[in-house]
Structure 1
Amino acid sequence: MPIVMILLGGCSSAPLRYEKVQGAKWDARSVVLVKKNKKSNLVHMDILAFQAPDRMRLEVTTPMGIHLASMALKNDEFQVALTRQKSYYVGRASAKTLQPIIGAEIDPRVLLSVLFDRVPDFSQGWECIYGEKGYLESCKNEKESISINWKHRELARKVVEIETEKVNLQVSLKGYEPIDNTEASTFEIALPTGFKKKKL
């Protein structure tokens, strides 16, 4: 059961209450810093996500707009197609799922929780802190060696930092657009022609 605390202090603006949003699109800028060699990797992500039930679609590109990957998540099942490698993965979501996409071993359900300002309650051991205005400020899971910090909020924009033993991932979310519904096929990626199916 997640542990939740209230922390005094808050934001001066009036950020969006994402926990009340059913579905939305975002433009995201993601920077991954690998702690061992201090190398960083920047990618852009077009994100479409819904909650209850949980669904997410990522389209990942380089800063120059070259397509790198597509990922679809439905509850705890994922499909990934890597454009350059012509590789295709399918299975149950885990910390390994995002590794070939953004170079960080982070469960995509953590990212989904970040989008909607939710406690990542898909796994045990999370402890979270809320600010006095009711916004999530941080979550950590010592057993899984991962922490999440909401660094900045301004209206619909926010910056979130996810840290593990190996990497630091900073995600800047902007371009918010609420979405009521979308085609079910959006969250399905068939094996593309010429791609090889692999296991993570």
Structure 2
Amino acid sequence: MIKENLKNITLKIEKAAKNYSPNHKVELLAVSKYTDIDSIKEAFACGQMRFGENKIQDLKLKALELPKAKWHMIGHLQTNKINGMLELHSEVGLELFESLDSLKLARLLQKHLEFKNETLNCLLQVNSAREESKSGFLEEELLEAFEVISKECKNLKILGLMCIGAHVEDRAVIEKSFKKTKDLFDEIGVLSVLSMGMSSDYELAIANGSNLVRIGSAIFKK
């Protein structure tokens, strides 16, 4: 079932990407936070390389089981979990920390990374839906935050932006949150990764420029 799910999703991603632009490429991140390691290994055997977790303890257990995969941390990182994430980064290497959501966290990460003489690839999380339940920089804060982090935190490599679409039924409202993030991405102009879209809205996200989608239930459902 996982193999068939991956095949169907890949076809939909390719179609949506082509509709957006003939040369647009979109990477698939399999969100494995509710999934056991055997299912992850099954997806990996089918050619899926990237997996995302939102809790450090789960990420560590799974990444050490499957170190050849490319792992992303996609959840809010509590400050008391920084050491755990960076220890794991030293062991297996995180491809991307997608949820850098505050200047305080950026500065703390910088101190730890500088001490370890390591770098970390990151995305800035944007709360473009302006929802209290979501972490991230508000639209009006993002550009200044990018400038400050780029200047002060040399061990953090900001590759792009991430957002979670508005948690509503109205597709126009969801699309608006994606469009706001894409506008910021374009305004900065030097970024390469735009992570938007999950199982319920990834095609809409791609239609608004996403080049990395985070899909869990649509892959791992039985």
Q: TM-score normalized by structure 2? A: 0.29
Q: Which has a greater percent of helix?
A: 2
